[in-house]
Structures are given as structure tokens and as C-alpha cells.
Amino acid sequence: MESLQKKKKSGTSVKNLVWWLGILYRDSPGYVLAYLADIPLQIGIALLGSYMPSVLVADITAGKAIYVILRNLILLGGALAGFYVIQQWAAETRKMKENRICGAHSLKLFRAALNAEYRDIEQPEFQTEFMKLQELHLWSGTYTRMFMTLVSTAAAGILGLLVYTGMLSGLSPWILLLILASAAASSGVGVLCNRWESKNRHKWWALDLKMEYLAQNLSSYESAKDVHLYAMAPWLRKLYDRELKERLRYTVKVEKNYYIWGLAYSLAGMLCKGVSYLYLIYNVCMGRMDAAEFVLYVGILMSFTGGCYQVVESVKRLHELALYVEEDRRLMNKLRTEEKESRKELILEKDYIPTIEFRNVTFQYEGAEAPVIRNLNLTISPGENLALVGLNGAGKTTFIKLLCGFYDPTQGEILADGVNREEYDRESWFRCFSGVFQETGFFPMSLRENLDPEGREEKRRLEECLETADLTDKIRKLPKGLDTLFGAGILEEAADFSGGEKQKLMLARSLYKQAPFLVLDEPTAALDPLAESELYEKYCRFSDKKTTVFISHRLASTRFCDRILLMEDGAVTETGTHQELMNRQGSYAAMYRLQSKYYQQEEAGLEGEMEL
Amino acid sequence: MRKKWKVFVRAVCYTARDMPAIWPLTVLTAALEAVMPYIQIFLSAAILSELTGASRDMQHLFFLAVLMTGLEFLGSALLQFCNQALDLQQYILMQHLDRAVAEKAWRMDYKLLCDPKIHGQKKTINNWQYEHGMVAMITQFRNLFRALVTIGISAALTIEFFAARAEGGGMARFLNHWSFPGVFLLLFALVTVYNIWSASGIQKGTYRVTKETEGSSNQRTELMKSCCAQYQQGKDVRIFHEQRILAQKFESLNDTIADLWEKAGASFRRLSVSSVLLSRLFHLFVYAAVGLKAVFRAFDVGNLLKYTGMVTQLGDGVTLLFHTIRDMVQNIRYLEDYFSYQETPNRTADAVLPVTQEIRDNYEFEFRHVTFTYPGAAAPSLSDVSCRFRKGEKIAVVGRNGSGKTTFIKLLCRLYDPQEGQILLNGTDIREYRYEEYLQLFSTVFQDYRIFAFTLGENVAAESEYDREKAVRALENAGFASRLRTLKDGLDTQLFKNFSEDGVELSGGESQKAAIARCLYKDAPHAVMDEPTAALDPVAEADIYQRMNRFIQGKGAVYISHRLSSCHFCSRILVFEGGRLEEQGTHEELLEKHGLYDRLWHAQAQYYRSA
């Protein structure tokens, strides 16, 4: 049973390697061919390298004419030089192509992630896998190069062994068997050492990560304030030394292992070489071989020995590499968006807004114990301005994600004018929405590209939106205006924006996209009271003729909305206008009073300690 | 020039002090490495000579074969040991250097660390530390020794080769003439110079292209990161249909990078192929020369292999020597960089005045005409600010975005020093107090506070050994109690997933509470809080303000908040506008003034008045 599983495993690993080879060949056949060309070259170089001295020795001992000696030498040496030159040329040619090939592959991965379902990329496993693969493809293609090198060395090794065996057929087969056996034995030791290492590797990887975290993250200027004020330096040093001590224990163990492996290697090498020499010397002394043949056989036997190790080693490493390839393949498959030809486009006429209905909607995150949204029923009329309030963790942000179409309900349906959302193409659903989300959503490219990603170039309107978001002054002060790069600390020429300014930028973008639905998740958290109040005053204007949803911990914002929804534990527990909810004396009223207490006290002239 | 030597001497001394075994090991490893190939070269030649000679003594031949393989085995066993020992030493040295760079940063003045020059310097040191600087210097010295030994041995053999006299006339006479070694050495020199020249051409080109592509490369990496590490941005990608523009950006960056490398690659190919061609042709020439000498009986056939092997060694040795010297000269710049970073002087180092318990029990701060401009900024962030506050007072700092509120507390915490004016603690300039002791006066929650990937308890206590009861109490007072109950490892819960899959992620509100708990645990005489409740809902906010109020009874505090309701339980309010302290007074006083505070207050309060 176990061996069957193992077989299956190595079967898939071959399949994975072939898959990757296929992809590389399809992307760039020249690249793959340049590697495959190496196979005959490697063998040719090994053979010529053995023949050249042997022929020279033969010619001299036979007392051949100088002309003949030189001719043979030039023929063989010239061929050898030619092989070397071609090999180098091919190697440099592949290196030239490497960047493009790896770039193209990364682009595929990048596209796949951009077009994947949002809920898929939100999974933490996706992020770790993605990061790992990104390194495989991006970092100058180390893995691609390693893979192709291994494929060609393995192939050259196997082919070479066949050729050498043919040439050594005159010798005792025991010699070849001895070499094969000792190669197998020493790589057996290697496998044992490796197995220990790959089983324990995660232990010191974790330590490495910790040391790097201490040395890099904690020494950044972003951490410096806390490190200073909490006098962490001596403690951090202690932590680093603790991790390093632990790490060195492993390092020494690993080195010991390698030493044993290396000794086994040298021992096997010595055995092969010694026996080969003794055997060949014996043959020469017995007159079965002359000195020139001796030189030739020494050369070929050494190539044979090298070939054995080459094959064992490269096959083993290919096997390891296949695991990465498998992950790559799996991720690509996972990210492939489902076929959606059957879905129809949601196309809205200008200024038309559909009614949205949540019908018995329940939503639970994958792997979570309890649903975040429970049996939610809600109708949002066209043009309605909603305020969504509730405690941290009540499900407000999840509600937004459901509404915008990032998630589908686990149970129940979301309807637009009575039609289930799932009948529509998701992309066309996204077209109807615009918004400001909690995290900064700008990319390291120019402001213009960030604000107008679809390249509509409606200059006048863009200016209006910037004006509404109170950014005109800030943009005017930038030397490059809208062509300024975003991403301070990452890109060299990028401008720095404060938290409040970033929020304003995102507001401007959400206004520039004229969508019938506008979703604002805490758009004022970083704004000062005057800026906040200005935004509220403008809110009526830009929420006109739109359905809007406004989330905020500052309950003042609810005043501008037609209806307030109070969420508690994944359900809407209160709904109505501010006045209605205040009259109800429920949770909303309590929360409102809590926040407004001091502002109102002023009016009432009350003083005293705050009490809950 | 002399200064450059000094840097070398300094680096050698530094490494010798840090890792005493490293230099003897380097020399030993280099010598072994250099000698190893000659075992094969000499003994296989001896075997071949014996084989082609008139009398073949099998016993002697066997002895030679066993001696050769035996020596090689011993040599490689020893070499491997030295190699690994040296690797280990270099690894430890590397870690020590990493630690030293970090430790310098942990203790460096905040102002200096924020200086883009120094923070850039640190970042580049981290980037090259594996390829340049002191660790690389060890490898370079090892290569230098190895090259010198190799050149020494093979030069001796080369002389032996030239000295061997060919027998006979004609060709043999040329082989014995001085012009033969002349031609030989001239060709050798030409090939070696060309190889060195082309290799450094490739290296320079690679460096140039790396620099040229750096910006695009960075941007590409950031784009890639932004769709996984910052996956939240995926929402914006989909809502704003950014897939096309992002993919286009990525593709055009790809093309820029690939084009540059491809263009440079063509010249690299020319250089390296021509260099291989020349080397192989010279190799062929050596074979012919050695062969001819053997034909004219200058030496027997066995020595054929010895002399061809030796020429290869000599070439390798000379090339290695040149590359190593070039690397060493280049490395000086990195060594200087490292030392100059380590020597960045701390302005806080020489203050001597202790912050006594007496001061902690009874203190008063005074800002006296303080003006401060950020390095590189055109206008001051604070100008002519004067105010006083002391123990027991709760101060609220309010103002618009960018009015200087945060700068005010940064100066108070000595993260920066004012350019004009003074900040006094009990009448003495704070710059005269010992820096560490001065900072012990404050418990802080900054706007951009950091919670680290340690355990929850370690984060709260900023120590590994801490008072667990006190930590739990701090967490409870920060409103973290209900979350704490859901963590099965309690205080020992590893935060974030940096090191382990089981790490626990905190939401924005939760980390804010953890930061507040850290502040409470420190329990310093004076609390400094910059927007401590921005991410919290109204109930949690009110709850925390109430607990905090109890906690700071009798202590001093400075609060910054955009939610002006928090001003209520402060004894005094400082209002900043454009870097100036515009108004100060109690809530009531300021409202009566009808100034900026009044406007700010009403901008917010109007929405809370009963409608």
C-alpha cells in the first residue's frame, strides 16, 4: 500500500516536471532547446577531454612525425575548443532570455491573482503559497534555471553513462559495478542526512525568521518610537542572542551531517579511483594495455564516476523541485476563474438604480464556527442613503463585502429588482459599485493612474472630484501634479501623504467612478473635526441620485442618512431614522447617548464623572 | 590611501577580536585548497612516467596509486573540515554583524534613524552584508592566499619546464632558445589579461544594469506584493476595474527589465565567448608546446600531464589574484560604509543628570519658546510654543490635521530636540538628563504604535520575564478581557503569523487595546496618548476612557484626540493651529473665547445636540 502510494507520488512528480517543461517550451522553445543542446556538448567535451592527452601520449610513444602529432592535436583540440565555445554561447543565450521568460510567468501568476475571486485571495494559505511562488519566478528565475540545469545534467548523465559503458566494455564489468555501488552507497548516506535535514528544517527556518524580524522589522524607524519609549534594546539583544544560540546548535548539527556525507563521498571516490588505477596499472603491466590506453581509460573511468554522482544527485533534486512545481500548478488551477458564459450582464440605463433585496441571507467564513451574518432580511430602495452602525465585530464590513459582491451568501439570496445576483456576471455587478474601504487601496503608480484606472480621461470631472475631496491645494503643491507617484518609502520619487490625505484620495476616486451605489467604510476616521464636518456638508450633494451606505463609529454621520441600520451579532436589530431609533430607546439610543454625552452636557451645563 | 589601509587593518582587527579562530583557519584552508590539485598532477605524472619507462615496477606503481588516492582522501577530509569550520565562523560573524547593525538602530537617536540618509545607509548595509564587507573580506583573503600559493608552486614548475632541455637540432634549438619562453609567456599574459578584462567588463555591466533596473524591479515587486501581502486592496482592484492597468504596468516593467538585460546580455555573450575561445586556443597551444618538448626528449611522456596541468593552474591562479585584488579594492567602500554607520554619534549619549525618584514624584514640564522644523522641511512644524504642565494635570491637545499636535509630543518624549527654545523638566533642560531615565517618565500610545510578533504577554510587558498578574490586569483595564478569555494560550499566545501558523491575528481595535495595555503595564508617571481610540466603537471608547481616567488619577497625562468629547475630563486644553499654540485653557474658558476651539467643538457637537 505504502509503496503504491510512493509510486503514485513519483509518477505525479514526473508529470509535474513534464508539465513545466511543456510550459517553458511553449513560452520559449529556443530557451529549452538551448538547454537540451547542452546534453551532447557535455558528453562530447568529456570524451574529447579524455582522448586528447591519450592520443598525444600514443603518438609520442609511437614516435610519429611531428606533423602528424600536431595535426591530430589540432583536430582534437580544435573540436574541443569548438564544443566549449558553443556551450558557452548557448549558456549566455539562455541567460539573456531568462528574465523575459520568468517575467512572463510571473505576469501569468499576477493576472491570475487579479482576476481570481476576492474570497480566494483572502485566504491566508493563498498568501503564503503565492509569496513562495513569486520568489520562484521573480527572483531572476533561480528556480527555472535550476530546473533546466538539472534536467539537462540528468539527461547528459544518463546518456553519458550509456556511452561510457559502451566504451569501457573491454574492461572488467566488476569495475563498473563497484563504481555504481559506491556511488549508490554514498548517496544513500546523503539521502539519510538530507532526510534528517528536511524533517527538521522548519525548526531553524522559524529561528531565522525570528532573527530577521528582530534585526530588520524592529530596527526600522517605524518601530523605533516604541522600542525607545519602552526601553526594549537590552531585551531585544537578549532575544536575539537566545535565538542565535539555538540556531547555532542546529547549524553545528547540520554541518556535522554534511561532514559525514562529505566523508562518505570522499571515501567512495577514493575507493573508485584507487581500484580503477590499480586495475589499469595491472593491465598495463600484464601487457594487455599500453600507456595511451591507460590515459584514455583513466579519463573515461573518471567521467563515468562523475556521471553516476551527477545522475543520482540531479534526480534527487528534481524530485524536490517537483513539489514546488506541483504547488504552482495547483495554485494556477485554483485561481482560474470559473467559466461564466452562462451569466448575463447587468446593464443599467443612465440614472437608473435597482432595488436591492437581501432575503434570508446568512454568511459564514470558511472554517469559522459561527456565521457572521445571520438570516438578514433587508430591502434597499433606489436612491436611499443608509447609515450602518454597530460595535466592532458586529458584521458591518462583511455586510459590505456581501453587498458589493466579494462574497456570496452561504444561505439565502441577494436580489436586484427581484433577480438573483448569481445570474449576473460578477464583473458587471462590480461596475455598479464604488466606494472607500478601510485599508489604503492605492497602488505604486501615478496618482492619475490610481484615480482613473480605466483611462477615461475626463479631466474636468476629475478636478471636480478632487475639489470635493478637498485635495486641490495638495495636488497643486506637488511639482508633478497628478503624475506624482504614490507609494512613499517604496518608490524613490513618490510623494508622502498623511492618513487624512489618503482617505481624501480614496474618496476622490470613488466619486470619479460614477456608479449608482456608493459604499463608504469609515471615511472620516483620520479627519479632524472641521474636515469631518465639511465632508458631512458635502455628503448630501454627492450622495444625490445614488444609493449610499455609510459606516462610521462617529454617530453624527447618521444624521445625513435616510435610514439607520444597527447591526448586532450579524443581524439588523434596529432600523429607522435617527429620531425613530432615539424614541425606541434601544441599543442605538444608548450608544448615541454615550457618544454625545459630553457634547450635550455642554448644552445642559452638566458636570461630573462619566458613568456607564 | 593611508586612510584606506587603516580601514583594512581595522576590519581585520575587528574580525580577529570577534572570531579569534577565523584568521588561522582562513590561512590553513587557503593553503590546503591550493596544494590539493598538485597531488594528482604530480603523482599521476609519476605513474605515467613509470608506465612508459623501460622497467615497470608494479609494486612501485601500486604504491604510487595508493599514495595518490590516500593523500587525496586525507587532503579532502581535512580541507572539508577546514572549509566547514570556516563557513561556520563566517556565518556566526555574519549574525554578529547583523545584530550589531540592528543594535545600533535600536539605540540610535530617533531623529537620526528617520534621516533618509542614515536609514538608507542601514538598509543598504543589510542588503549587501552577505556579499560585501567583512564576511566577504574573509573570503577575499582566503582567495588571495590561495592564489599566491598556487602561483608560487606553478611558477616553480614552469621554470622547471622551460629549463628542461630538448635534444637535437632544428625545432629543438628553438625550444631551448630564450624566445620560446618569451612567446609562451607573452601569449599567456595576453590571454590572462583578456580574460580579466572581459570578466570585469561583464561584472561592471551587470552592476550597471542592476542599477538601471532597480527602480522598475522594485515597483514590480511592490505590485506583486500588493496583490497578496496587501490582499485587502483586491477589493479596490475589482470595484475600480484595475486589472487591465495593473497587468499593463506589470508587463511594461517586465519588458523594460528584460530589454535592458537582453541588450546587455548580447555584449556579455560576446565577451565571455571570445574569452572561452582564447583560453581554449591557448590550452591547445600549451599542449602542443609541452608535446613538442616531450618529442624532443626534454622529459618523458609522464611529465606531459604534469606540465599541462600546471599551466592551467597558473592561469587560474593569476586570474584569481587579479579578481581578488579588484574585489578587495571595491570592498573598501563597503567597509567604510559599515564603520561610518556604526560610528554615527548619538546626541543623547553624553547627558549625565539622573532622573531621581524625587523628580518622578513631583515634576513639571515647561516648553519655553520652542520652535521646531523637521529636517528638510521648508516651514517649522512648531513655532514659539510656550506652556507648562505638571504632575496631576491632564492635558488635551487638539487642532486640525497637520497643526503640530504629534510633533509636540514627539518633542516632549525627546524623539526630536527643538532648534530654538528649551523644554525644561523641573527647571533643567531635558537634554541634560540621562536619556534612558528620562524616557522612563512616560507611558505612551502613539498614533502609529506597533504591536510586535511576540507573545501577547511579551508585548504588554516589553520583556520576556514579567509579572503575569500585572499583565492580565493591564489587559483587562484596556478592555481586552473578553478577547483574552478566547485565547487558549492566554498571555503566551503568539501574535501574528510571521513565525507560526498558529499565530493569532488581532483586529485594528484589538491591537489598539493591546497597545493601551502596554502603556498601562509600564505604569510610568506620565501618560502620552495620540489618538488612542481611533479604531474603537463608541462603547469600547467610552469604556476605555473611563478606566483610563481611573488609572491616571494623580498622574499626569497628555492626550491627542479628534473626538473632542475626550477633552472633557482634561484639566486643560492646548489648541494648536499651524504650529502655534493658539489657545489654552479649560473647556469652558475656551468656549467663551469663541476662537478655534469653539469652532472645532461646535463642528462636532452640532450633530450631537438633541434634535
φ, ψ at A375 (rounded to 5°):
40, 60
Report CB contact under 8 Å: B284, A77: yes
Report CB contact under 8 Å: B305, A295: yes
Nearest to A335, CA basis, from A107, A123, A109, A105: A109
Report CB contact under 8 Å: B400, A215: no
Interface residue B349 vs chain A (CB under 8 A): no
Query: Taking CB atoms and an 8 Å cutoff, what residues of chain B touch A84?
Result: 276-277, 280
Grid cell at residue A241? 542572542
Distance from CA of B360 to the nearest CA of A (A): 16
Question: Is the same domain home to A307 and A374?
Answer: no
For the cut 90, the answer to whether the pLDDT of residue B564 exceeds it is: no
Question: Is the same domain home to A291 and A240?
Answer: yes
CA distances from B134 to A219, B94, B95, B141, B344 (A): 21, 8, 12, 11, 19
Q: Which residue of B74, B103, B227, B544 is the best one to mutate when testing the A interface, meaning the one whose CB has the most A CBs within 10 A?
A: B227
Query: Taking CB atoms and an 8 Å cutoff, what residues of chain A touch B103?
Result: 233, 236-237
Query: Taking CB atoms and an 8 Å cutoff, what residues of chain B touch A500?
Result: 401
Nearest to B98, CA basis, from A250, A208, A223, A228: A208
Nearest residue on chain A to B441, alpha-carbon basis: A229
User: What pLDDT does residue B1 have?
Assistant: 64
pLDDT in tens, B120-156: 888 888 888 888 999 999 999 999 999 999 999 999 9
- Assess contact for B234 and B227: CB atoms under 8 A: yes
User: What pLDDT does residue A342 have?
Assistant: 66
Grid cell at residue A46? 568529456
Question: Is the same domain home to A368 and A242?
Answer: no
Question: Is the same domain home to A321 and A459?
Answer: no
Nearest residue on chain A to B85, alpha-carbon basis: A255
Q: In this structure, is the dihedral angle defined by the CA atoms of residues B582, B586, B587 and B593, taken in order, positive or negative?
A: negative
pTM: 0.87
Report for A397-406, B219-228, B503-512: range of highest mean pLDDT: A397-406
Better pLDDT: A332 or B512: B512
Instruction: Look at chain B and count its residues.
Output: 611
Furthest-apart CA pair in chain A: how many Å?
123
Alpha carbons A52 and B178: distance in angstroms, whole number: 28
Query: Taking CB atoms and an 8 Å cutoff, what residues of chain A touch B235?
Result: 118, 401, 404, 406, 437, 441
Rounded mean pLDDT, B465-484:
94
Better pLDDT: B228 or A116: A116
Question: Is the same domain home to A400 and A330?
Answer: no
How many CA atoms within 13 Å lie on the side-chain side of A126? 24
Nearest residue on chain A to B306, alpha-carbon basis: A53
Question: Is the same domain home to A320 and A386?
Answer: no
Q: What value, to the nearest 5°, has the Cα angle with vertex A449 and ends A445 and A455?
A: 150
Question: Is residue A350 domain-resident?
Answer: no
Query: Taking CB atoms and an 8 Å cutoff, what residues of chain A touch B462?
Result: 230-232, 235
User: What pLDDT does residue A3 have?
Assistant: 45
Neighbours of A77 (CB within 10 A): 23
CA distances from B529 to A76, A581, B395 (A): 82, 34, 10
Cross-strand pairs, B558: B395, B528
Query: Taking CB atoms and an 8 Å cutoff, what residues of chain A touch B607?
Result: 533, 536, 555-557, 559
* Complex-level ipTM: 0.90
Q: Of A283, A306, A335, at which residue does a domain stop? A: A335
Question: Is the same domain home to A303 and A361?
Answer: no
Interface residue B465 vs chain A (CB under 8 A): no
Rounded mean pLDDT, B12-39:
96
Please name the residues in contact with B87: beta carbons below 8 A apart, sequence gap of 6 or more: A255
State how beta strands B556-560 and B526-530 pair: parallel
In this complex, which of B51, B223, B268 lies closest to A444 when CB atoms are compared?
B223
Question: Is the same domain home to A310 and A376?
Answer: no
Query: Taking CB atoms and an 8 Å cutoff, what residues of chain B touch A103?
Result: 254-255, 257-258
Region label for A356, one of left (φ > 0), alpha (ψ between -120 and 50) or beta (otherwise): beta
User: What DSSP assignment string belongs to A125-161?
Assistant: HHHHHHHHHHHHHHSTTHHHHHHHHHHHHHHHHHHHH
Q: Of A302, A335, A368, at which residue does a domain stop? A: A335
Question: Is residue A396 domain-resident?
Answer: yes
What is the DSSP-derived secondary structure letter of residue A344? B
Q: Which domain holds residue A416?
A: 356-604
Report CB contact under 8 Å: B65, A277: yes
Neighbours of A583 (CB within 10 A): 11
Q: Of A278, A304, A335, at which residue does a domain stop? A: A335
Torsion of CA A600, A603, A607, A609, to 10 degrees: 0
Report CB contact under 8 Å: A404, B239: yes
pLDDT in tens, A345-372: 888 888 899 999 999 999 998 877 889 9
For residue B405, give the 3-state DSSP assignment: helix
For residue A188, give the 3-state DSSP assignment: helix
Nearest residue on chain B to A101, alpha-carbon basis: B258
User: What pLDDT does residue A604 have?
Assistant: 45
Alpha carbons B310 and B161: distance in angstroms, whole number: 10
Alpha carbons A360 and B305: distance in angstroms, whole number: 88
- Assess contact for B533 and A525: CB atoms under 8 A: no
What is the DSSP-derived secondary structure letter of residue A287? T
User: What pLDDT does residue A24 have?
Assistant: 85
For B:312-331, CB contacts with A below 8 A are none
Q: What single-letter amino acid sits at B136?
A: A
Asked which of B221-225, B279-283, B341-345, B579-583 is least confident by mean pLDDT, the reply is: B221-225
- Assess contact for A154 and A311: CB atoms under 8 A: yes
Alpha carbons B262 and B417: distance in angstroms, whole number: 51
What is the DSSP-derived secondary structure letter of residue A423? G
Instruction: Look at chain A and count its residues.
Output: 612
Query: Taking CB atoms and an 8 Å cutoff, what residues of chain A touch B568?
Result: 598, 601, 610
Question: Is the same domain home to A137 and A182?
Answer: yes
Nearest to B88, CA basis, from B138, B122, B132, B44: B138
Task: State the total domains in chain A.
Answer: 2
Report CB contact under 8 Å: A439, B232: yes
Distance from CA of A285 to the nearest CA of B (A): 7
- Assess contact for A595 and A555: CB atoms under 8 A: yes
- Assess contact for B523 and B480: CB atoms under 8 A: no
Nearest to A515, CA basis, from A358, A405, A399: A405
Question: Is the same domain home to A526 and A382?
Answer: yes
Question: Is residue A612 domain-resident?
Answer: no
In this complex, which of B265, B608, B610 lies closest to A96 when CB atoms are compared?
B265
Interface residue B452 vs chain A (CB under 8 A): yes
Question: Is residue A233 domain-resident?
Answer: yes
- Three-state SS string over B137-174 comes to HHHHHHHHHHHHHHHHHHHHHHHHHHHCCCCCCCHHHH
In this complex, which of B228, B241, B269 lies closest to A130 when CB atoms are compared?
B228
Query: Taking CB atoms and an 8 Å cutoff, what residues of chain A touch B301?
Result: 57, 60-61, 291
Alpha carbons A20 and A320: distance in angstroms, whole number: 14
User: What pLDDT does residue A338 have?
Assistant: 56
CATH code assigned at A538: 3.40.50.300
- Assess contact for A574 and A390: CB atoms under 8 A: no
Rounded mean pLDDT, B204-218:
88
Alpha carbons A188 and A498: distance in angstroms, whole number: 60
For residue A574, give the 3-state DSSP assignment: strand
Question: Is the same domain home to A181 and A249?
Answer: yes
- Strands of B400-501, DSSP E: 420-425, 428-429, 442-445
Alpha carbons A21 and A29: distance in angstroms, whole number: 10
Size of interface A-B (CB pairs under 8 A): 463
Report CB contact under 8 Å: B232, A578: no
Tell me the pLDDT band of B357, cut-offs 50, 70 and 90.
very high
If residue A390 lies in a helix (H) or strand (E), which one and from where to where? strand A385-390
Question: Which residue ranges make up each domain of chain B?
Answer: 2-164+299-342, 451-523
Alpha carbons B25 and A591: distance in angstroms, whole number: 72
User: What pLDDT does residue B371 have?
Assistant: 97
Question: Is the same domain home to A269 and A418?
Answer: no
Nearest to B308, CA basis, from A294, A56, A71: A56
User: What pLDDT does residue B347 have?
Assistant: 79
Superfamily of domain B451-523: P-loop containing nucleotide triphosphate hydrolases (3.40.50.300)
Please name the residues in contact with B403: beta carbons below 8 A apart, sequence gap of 6 or more: B576, B577, B578, B579
User: What pLDDT does residue A135 have?
Assistant: 67
- Exposed / middle / buried, residue A4 (Cβ in 10 Å: 0-12, 13-18, 19+): exposed
Q: What is the mean pLDDT of each run of 10 residues along chain A (612 residues)?
A: 47 82 86 91 93 92 92 95 95 89 86 86 77 65 82 92 89 89 86 83 87 91 92 96 96 93 91 93 91 92 88 83 78 67 78 93 86 93 93 88 92 93 89 88 90 92 93 90 83 79 92 93 85 87 89 84 92 92 92 82 44 34
Average pLDDT of chain B, as a whole number: 91
